[in-house]
Amino acid sequence: MKLLIKNGHVIDPDTGKDGIFDVLTEDGKILRVAQDIEEEAGRVVNAEGFYVMPGIIDLHVHLRDPGLEYKETLHTGGLAAARGGVTTMCAMPNTIPVTDSPEMIRSQTLRAAAECPVHVSFIGAVTKGQQGTEITDIAGMKKEGMAFISEDGKSVMDAGLYRDAMKTAAREGVTVLAHCEDKNMVAGGVMNECEKSRKMGLPGITNGVEDVIVARDILIAKETGAKLHLCHCSTKDSVEMIRLAKEAGLPVTAEVCPHHFALTSSDIPEDDANYKMNPPLREKEDVDALIDGLKRGIIDVIATDHAPHGEEEKEKGFAGAPFGIVGLETSVAVTMTELVHKGILTPMEMAERMSHAPARILGVDKGSLAEGKCADIVLIDPDREYVIHKEDFVSKGKNTPFEGKKVKGQVVMTIVDGAVVYEAE
Ligand SMILES: NC(=O)N[C@@H](CC(=O)O)C(=O)O
Ligand SMILES: [Zn+2]
Ligand SMILES: [Zn+2]
C-alpha cells in the first residue's frame, strides 16, 4: 500500500530538507521525497500548511503495564502516543513486577507488538526489583532487544554497585538512563524548596538533591566509559555540569521535559497534585537555563516522562499524592507554543530534539525522512489553536498541569510504518 503526502512543509534534520515537498511511502518505508510526485497511491493526504516531520521519539515514558493497568496499559499508552505524534517510545521498568530480566524484556516486546499501535522499546532495571542491591542480567536483556538500563523512579544509591553496573553497560554498549535524586537529601520533600513551599507549609526538595547525583553519575561515567543519558533535568547546575562534561568529551546526553521548561513553582495553584512530579517544578532561573541549554544543544532531547496516575490518587494533594504527570498528548503542543512560536527553537531544532537526537541515543535508524528509512511520520498544524482538556485524552491518566492551557500547534496525523494510526478531527 502506498501513501502520498502532498505539499507539506517537510522538516527533516537528517537530510536537512526544509521546504515544500511530497512524501511517498510504500510497504512501511519512505520511497521518495520530491516536488510534485505524480503517483497512484492507496491514500493521498493533503498536507498543505502542515509540518511533515519524522515521528516523535519519546525516550521516557511509564506505561504501568504489567501491574498497574488501572493507570495505563500498553494499549492505552500507545493510543496516547499516537495522539501525541509519538511513533516510538521507551518504557521505563518500574512496573509490577519490575522489568529486570531477559524474559520480561522478551514478553513485553512481544506484547507491545500486538497491543500497541506505535513502536515500544523496553528499558531494563539496573538492579533486580529496583531494590538497589543486585545487578540485573544486562547482557541477557540486551540480547532480547532492551533499549537502555535505568533505575528510574530513583537513583541507585550505592555508588560502588552502580559503578559495577556501568562497567557492564560500557562493555555491552548499553546506555544508562539516570534519574538523579539523592534519596537521603530528599528528606520527605514534595515540591521545590522555595518561597512557594514555605508559603504552602510543605517540605521542599532542593536543587542539590538532583545536582549531587548528576555530578556523581557524570564522574562514574567518566571512570567506566559508560554512555550516560540524564533524565528529566530540572536545575541550572545540571545544565552547567552537562556543558562541562560535553566540553570534556564525555559521552553524556540529557533530556528536559515540557513541564520543566513551560512551568515554574510559582505556577502551582493551591495544593493541586497535578503539579506534583519528580523532579519538581523549579524557579525561573532554572527554567531559563533549561531553555538556554535546549537552544544551544547542551540539552539534546525533549522527552515527556509520561507518568499516569489515578484521579483519586492525585486528589490527595501535594502531601499524599504520588509524583508524576502525563505528557504524551501535550508535548508537541506545549513545545510548539513555548519554544517554537516564541522563536526559541526553529521547527528544525524541535525535530532534532524530539526525533533525530532521540533516535541517535536509542541507536535506531529512525528520526529521518530520508528515502529508504522507516515511514514513521508526524503531521503538525503549526497554526491550529486549541485548549488542552484532560477529558480529550485517550490516556487513562488525566493528571496534567496543562488543563485549560491555550496552545498553538496540533498533531493532525501520526503514521507508523506507513500506516495512519491517528488522525485529528
Ligand atoms: N516522574 C515522576 O514524578 N514519576 C515517575 C517516576 C520518575 O520518572 O522518576 C513515575 O513512575 O510515576
Ligand atoms: Zn525519574
Ligand atoms: Zn520517569
Give the model confidence (pLDDT) of 159-171 as tens digits. Answer: 999 999 999 999 9
Contact predicate 50/381, CB 8 Å: yes
Per-residue burial over 184-200, b = 16 or more CB atoms within 10 Å of its CB, e = otherwise: eebeebbbbbbebbeeb
Between the CA of 250 and the centroid of ligand 3 the distance, in Å, is 24
Q: What distance in Å separates the CA atoms of residue 407 and residue 411, rounded to the nearest whole number?
A: 12
Ligand sitting nearest the alpha carbon of 281: 1
Q: Which cell numbers in the block locate residue 393?
A: 485524552
36 marked among binding-site residues: no
* CA-closest residue to ligand 1 atom 3: 324
Contact predicate 376/119, CB 8 Å: yes
This prediction has a pTM of: 0.98
**What does the pLDDT look like over 192-226, one tens digit per residue?**
999 999 999 999 999 999 999 999 999 999 999 99
Residues flanking ligand 1, CB < 6 Å: 62, 94, 152-153, 179, 277-278, 305, 307, 323-324
**What does the pLDDT look like over 240-264, one tens digit per residue?**
999 999 999 999 999 999 999 999 9
Between the CA of 326 and the centroid of ligand 1 the distance, in Å, is 10
Whether residue 305 lies in the annotated active site: yes
Q: Which atom of ligand 1 is nearest to the CA of 323?
A: 3
Contact predicate 371/23, CB 8 Å: no
Rounded to the nearest 5 percent, the helix, strand and coil shares of the chain are 35, 25, 40
Catalytic-labelled residue, pool 22, 286, 305, 376: 305
- Work out the mean pLDDT of the chain and round it to a whole number: 98
Domains of the chain: residue spans and CATH: 3-51+374-423 (2.30.40.10), 56-362 (3.20.20.140)
Between the CA of 50 and the centroid of ligand 3 the distance, in Å, is 31
Among residues 307, 275, 315, the alpha carbon closest in space to that of 192 is found at: 275
> Can you give the pLDDT at residue 270?
85
Between the CA of 306 and the centroid of ligand 1 the distance, in Å, is 8
Between the CA of 13 and the centroid of ligand 1 the distance, in Å, is 30
Contact predicate 349/302, CB 8 Å: no
> Can you give the pLDDT at residue 218?
99
Mutate to test the pocket of ligand 1, among 130, 263, 305, 306 (most ligand atoms within 8 A of CB): 305
Between the CA of 45 and the centroid of ligand 3 the distance, in Å, is 35
> Can you give the pLDDT at residue 149?
98
309 marked among binding-site residues: yes
In the numeric block, the cell 520527605 is attached to 188
Q: Which atom of ligand 1 is nearest to the CA of 308?
A: 12
> Can you give the pLDDT at residue 248?
98
Please compute the mean of the pLDDT values over residues 312-338 and round it to a whole number.
98
Q: Which atom of ligand 1 is nearest to the CA of 153?
A: 9
Ligand sitting nearest the alpha carbon of 213: 2
63 marked among binding-site residues: yes
Ligand sitting nearest the alpha carbon of 96: 1
* CA-closest residue to ligand 1 atom 4: 324
In the numeric block, the cell 521507551 is attached to 90
Instruction: Express as a percent the part of the chain with pLDDT over 90.
Output: 99
Complex ipTM above 0.85?
yes
259 marked among binding-site residues: no
**What does the pLDDT look like over 17-69, one tens digit per residue?**
999 999 999 999 999 999 999 999 999 999 999 999 999 999 999 999 999 99
**What does the pLDDT look like over 362-382, one tens digit per residue?**
999 999 999 999 999 999 999
Q: Which atom of ligand 1 is nearest to the CA of 322?
A: 12
* CA-closest residue to ligand 1 atom 6: 153
User: Which residues are close to ligand 2, an ion, with C-beta < 5 A?
Assistant: 152, 179
